[in-house]
Amino acid sequence: MGLLDRVSTLVRANLNDLIDRAEDPEKVIKQLIIDMNNQLIQVKTQVAAAIADEKRLYQRQQEAQQQADEWQSKAELAVEKGDDDLAKQALARRNSYTQTAQGLQEQWQAQSAQVQTLKDALRQLETKVSEAEAKKDLLIARSRRARAEETVQKTLSGVRGVGAMSDFERLEEKVEQQEARAAAYTDLSTDTLDQKFATLEQESEVDRQLRDRARRRLPNPPAPFPQGKGNYSRIGGAVSKATDSAEELKGRSGPAYAAAKGGVLAFTKWVAKDGGRYDIQANAVCPGPVVSEMTCGYEYPLSAQPIARMGRPADIAEAVLFLASNASNFITGQGLNVDGGLVMD
């Protein structure tokens, strides 16, 4: 390889490298789309011109054929009139126009075939342009994503470098030194004895608040108050006991039964009295006849009640819910009759 060939190869290699590095895929794609659209316009122009030529050839062929037919008619007229010379001249003209019409016919057929080929090529080109338009946005998005990823990776590579990490470590050490000096100044400017007493006072106040909160939310009161045993239903600081109204009906269900229910009421009052110091309320719910399996088959004198019907379990539940709620936080030691007014007869 001669010197000039080597220089030419070197120049071309450097130029190609510069072009490759300067080539932006997004810009190139847009330019290619523009070029394809320009080519499409040119092809459309050529196809339109070919179609126009085809139409002109067809029109000229039709005119020549019409002239040939007219001269044929004139020749026949001359023969009918007995003028053979004039008939010969008319036939000569007819033959001339017939040849012209045939030549134009051949040209028109060839032009039609060419126009059809151009139309097929135009449709293919339009399809290619449409496909390129559809892929343009996707390719541009992929190019931008690739550039962004490259930029991020370069940035991360720079951060991960030895110099950057050493700078971060140096700054972190400097911040730690500043924090240590600030803590030292704080220790020197604070009276240690006063600080200790302030801490003790703060801890004492916190302990007192915790004890108060524990007393308010005590789940099981200390002895001698009962430890939540038995059939008591307890919610927060409220204790309720479900008993019957029979003890208030002067033994209508028997002396033992009435005495037992009366004992429940007395026990409820004692619980309320002794548990009040623990912020605990105790009340008894005294239901009348309630629809249940136990009352099934018994007939009660409902006409004697102001509310002449059997009680429902929901009636008793609502009473218990009331006594267990904050709405009854000033009620204790009471027996709540839920019997439709049965005890008033």
Catalytic residue among 185, 257, 278, 298: 257
Q: Are 261 and 244 in contact (CB under 8 A)?
A: yes
3-class DSSP string for the chain = CCHHHHHHHHHHHHHHHHHHHHCCHHHHHHHHHHHHHHHHHHHHHHHHHHHHHHHHHHHHHHHHHHHHHHHHHHHHHHHHCCCHHHHHHHHHHHHHHHHHHHHHHHHHHHHHHHHHHHHHHHHHHHHHHHHHHHHHHHHHHHHHHHHHHHHHHHHHHHHCCHHHHHHHHHHHHHHHHHHHHHHHHHHHHCCHHHHHHHHHHHHHHHHHHHHHHHHHCCCCCCCCCCCCCCCCEEECCEEEEECCCHHHHCCCCCHHHHHHHHHHHHHHHHHHHHHHHHCCEEEEEEECCECCCCCCCCCCCHHHCCCCCCECHHHHHHHHHHHHCHHHCCCCCCEEEECCCHHHC
Q: Which residues are 235's β-sheet partners?
A: 238
In the residue annotation, 257 being an active-site residue is answered as yes
Which token pair is 66? 């019409």
Q: Which value, to the nearest 10 degrees, does the dihedral of the CA atoms of residues 242, 246, 251, 255 take?
A: -30
Give residue 279's region: left, alpha or beta (phi > 0; psi -120 to 50). Answer: left
Q: Which residues are 311's β-sheet partners?
A: 290
Q: Which value, to the nearest 10 degrees, does the dihedral of the CA atoms of residues 52, 54, 59, 61 take?
A: 160
By annotation, the residues acting in catalysis are 257
